[in-house]
Amino acid sequence: MPTHAYVPHAPGYVDNDGPKIVTSRFPHEDSYTLERYEATGGYDGLRAALAKKPSEVHDDVREATVLGRGGAGFPAGVKWGFMPPGKYPYYLVVNGDESEPGTYKDRLLMERDPHQLIEGCLITCYALGLAQCFLYVRGEMALAQERIAVALNDAYAKGLVGKNILGTDFSVDITLTWGAGAYIVGEETALIESLEGNRGMPRLKPPYFPAAIGLYGQPTIVNNVETLSNLPWLMLNGPSQYKTYGSEDSPGTRMIAVSGHVNRPGVYEIEQGVTTFRDLFYSDNFCQGIREGHELKMFVPGGGSAPWFFPEQLDLPLEARPVGAAGSMLGSGAIMVMDETTDAVKAALRLVRFYARESCGKCTPCREGTTWEERVLQRILDGEGRPSDIDMLLDIADNISPGPYPNAADPSQGLEAVPFPPKQTTICPLGPSSVAPITSTIRRFRHEYEAKITKRDSIPVMAETSEGGS
Amino acid sequence: MSRFSDANLAIADDIISRYPVKKSALIPLLHLAQEQEGYVTDDAMRHIAELTDTTPAEVKGTGSFYEMFKFHPVGAYMVNVCTNLSCQLLGGEELLDHAEKTLGVKAGGTTADGMFTLEDVECIAACTEAPCLQVNYRYKLRISHDEFDEMIADLRAGKAGDIPEHGTLATIRQSIPAGMGAGIVPPEEASEAPVWLARNDSPDGES
């Protein structure tokens, strides 16, 4: 008896038959209340953690290989180990500034199960000896801010956050903070800048991780909302149970948002590494196929920043290593599906325009390059394109991200995959991300570009008349 | 007068108290100023600078980086239509065109009666529910052209439902009850190892 269905109080989320680690309470309408949370095992993960030494909690997270769910997929337990010993205070910054095109799992987690996130924050603070936690929520997510505020107020009142948590010597404050509309603040050093009250521009690297130098110059762990939401379950059930889900390289589940031209777009919790794109798009348990009468043309497998995939990549599992080798990334777990009615140039322009608007302006190749990419694509789409424009786009792209850009294989042209990640001339990956839609579409659909190009490269020289000029 | 009102000054002080460094409160305080006036005024930025030991230029320098802050009057309702890829695939651009016709302004414009400002925005994280929009940061999902017109008519008729006026985000704020906090101090006053880490050195894990 299939139970999978949309859940009216959590629009977009599909409750299906799969295992649930982070969305287990979503079917309850009141999942965001402390009452429901405590009735369903809430804060027992924290109790289990507090019964262990802090270092043992860190060991559990390391052993479970909890991969970061924000985009880069770096193991949280390893990241936690990068903090220099003894340089107190240490801070935790929770990245809830979800803004990647196509992505919206974190918003659901914050709106539907704020206590689970708070519990995950507390477990992290306990394990690492952190002085304070900052929960940074995207500015536009008013309901998420409200749900977290209420959850924190309730948790403080019951002694679950703050001084002497659950009657122990463990004390930590969690501060809810929120942004004001800037995609780049999702980059962890830009997030820290924003939290310090500055313009949200990424910091120079190295250091590559704020674990070395972060908030107020102190060691800082920046973790994604979904990553931390896994911890209460992990503490309660242990690493070996956690690893029964997913694959060896990518244990556990992750939340995937599939949007675009499928019959049942939605946010699904899936097992990592074992579910394939084909399963996700076509099976009854997930998206139930491409919309009626149409067929798959292409898809973005991991948020707007990922190089595009095509029908040949459908049988890849949703797992970082094979997807990376095939020329793209899983990123933030957002998949955008496009059928044959989609204009490749128009779709590429829309994503490029996003990067042009969101470039913070710090690095010249990105600030200038994304703007030019947008202008050239726009004129091609407007019927004002010149034959040299295709090479010009590739040249601008090469200035932001030199060398062969990651791309999927195209057997019909005898082209092999170029593995992820791209090289970059910029501090952060925003600029290189703008290249993905361009190279993906030019490589595959050059004819669509050529068909739109109507202008000549140069103005024809007028023959001189015998009477001479003026 | 667009410095913080007495009630909002108390809220501002409470917000500042939750950060180890005052300047970190800058963005939330700019939101509070926008909540009070509908946009961020020069006087409000001067007041924020006083409260956070910064200069008005620093406040504006930070604020002007972020799209949500408006430094001039805008409509009572900010209508933000998403046209990013997921929405584009399912009619986001057509919805924006329709909104421009219904409201009689181009994206970026404000209606003559000061009721609505229309914006063409980037992904607002409701991609499976395309096309979608936010009115003062409250979602309208899978919205048809007719539903859009109804929504505008309702708002004009004063039927706003749960949508507050522009500037208000969460309607409930965080508040740490007296005596329940762990104690938020500047980083230089927190250079000792947290007490519970001593458990790592004891054989049974108890401290």
Helix axes B6-16 and B26-37, enclosed angle (nearest 10): 160
pLDDT for B204 equals 63
Q: For A20-242, CATH number? A: 3.40.50.11540
Q: Tell me the pLDDT tens digit for each residue of B186-203.
A: 999 999 999 999 999 987
- Domain segments of chain B as ranges: 6-63, 77-156
Interface test with B, best of A87, A259, A335 (most B CBs within 10 A): A259
Q: Is the CB of B141 less than 8 angstroms away from the CB of A149?
A: no
Q: Do B122 and A354 touch (CB under 8 A)?
A: yes
pLDDT reported for residue A467: 58
Mention every residue, 6+ apart, whose C-beta is less than 8 A from residue A375: none
Residue of A nearest to B195 (CA): A169
Q: Which residue among A89, A142, A181 sits closest to B170, beta carbon to beta carbon?
A: A142
Inter-chain contacts counted by CB atoms under 8 A, chains A and B? 243
Chain B residues within 8 A of A194 when measuring between CB atoms: 27
* Residues of chain B numbered 167-206 and touching chain A (CB < 8 Å): 168-177, 179-184, 187, 190-197, 199-200, 205
Residues in chain A with pLDDT < 70?
1-4, 464-470
- With CA atoms as reference, the chain B residue closest to A347 would be B85
CATH for A253-339? 3.10.20.600
Q: Closest-CA residue in chain A for B171?
A: A146
ipTM above 0.85, yes or no: yes
The answer to whether residues A15 and A27 touch, using CB atoms and an 8 Å cutoff, is yes
State pLDDT tens for residues B72-100.
999 999 999 999 999 999 999 999 999 99
Nearest chain A residue to B169, by CA: A142
Residue B28, min C-alpha distance to chain A (Å): 7
Residue B127 to residue A336, Cβ atoms within 8 A: yes
The alpha-carbon gap from A150 to the nearest alpha carbon of chain B, in Å, equals 7
Contact assignment for B66 to A200 by CB distance below 8 Å? yes
What per-residue confidence (pLDDT) applies to A17? 83
- Going from N- to C-terminal start, the domains of chain A cover 20-242, 253-339, 344-452
Which residue in B80, B128, B139 has the most chain A C-beta atoms within 10 A of its own C-beta, making it the best mutation to test that interface? B128
Residue from the list A100, A148, A259 with its beta carbon closest to the beta carbon of B130: A259
Gap from B25 CA to chain A (nearest CA, Å): 7
CB contact under 8 A, B174 and A153: yes
Nearest to B127 among A102, A131, A159 (CB): A102
Q: Is A129 in Cβ contact with B197 (below 8 Å)?
A: yes
State the pLDDT at residue A6: 85
Cβ <8 Å between B128 and A168: no
Give me the architecture of the B6-63 domain, per CATH: Orthogonal Bundle (1.10)
The SS3 assignment for A147 reads helix
Q: Minimal Cα–Cα distance from A467 to chain B, Å?
A: 52
Do B20 and A216 make contact, defined as CB atoms within 8 angstroms?
A: yes
Report the alpha-carbon distance of residue A127 to residue A80 in Å, rounded: 9
B111: alpha, beta or left, given left = phi > 0 and alpha = psi -120 to 50?
Answer: beta
Of B23, B129, B184, the CB nearest to A196: B23
Tens-digit pLDDT string for chain B (207 aa): 589 999 999 999 999 999 999 999 999 999 999 999 999 999 999 999 999 999 999 999 999 999 999 999 999 999 999 999 999 999 999 999 999 999 999 999 999 999 999 999 999 999 999 999 999 999 999 999 999 999 999 999 999 999 999 999 999 999 999 999 999 999 999 999 999 999 999 876 554
> What is the CATH code for B77-156?
3.40.30.10
Q: Do A157 and B175 touch (CB under 8 A)?
A: no
Q: B202-207 long-range CB contacts below 8 Å, 24 or more apart?
A: B205/A51, B205/A52, B205/A53, B205/A56, B207/A169
Distance between CA atoms of residues B125 and A100, nearest Å = 8
- Class of the A344-452 domain? mainly alpha
Q: Which of residues 9-28 of B touch A (CB under 8 A)?
A: 18-21, 23-28
* Pairing, β A91-96 against β A220-224: parallel
Three-state secondary structure readout of chain B? CCCCCHHHHHHHHHHHCCCCCHHHHHHHHHHHHHHHHCCCCHHHHHHHHHHHCCCHHHHHHHHCCCCCCCCCCCCCEEEEEECCHHHHCCCHHHHHHHHHHHHCCCCCCECCCCCEEEEEECCCCCHHHCCCEEECCEEECCCCHHHHHHHHHHHHCCCCCCCCCCCCCCCCCCCCCCCCCCCCCCHHHCCCCCHHHHHHHCCCCCC
Min Cα distance A146 → chain B (Å) is 5
Among the partner-chain residues A156, A182, A334, the one whose CB lies closest to the CB of B176 is: A156
Among B residues 54-113, those touching chain A with beta carbons less than 8 Å apart: 54, 58, 61-63, 65-69, 80, 83-86, 88-90
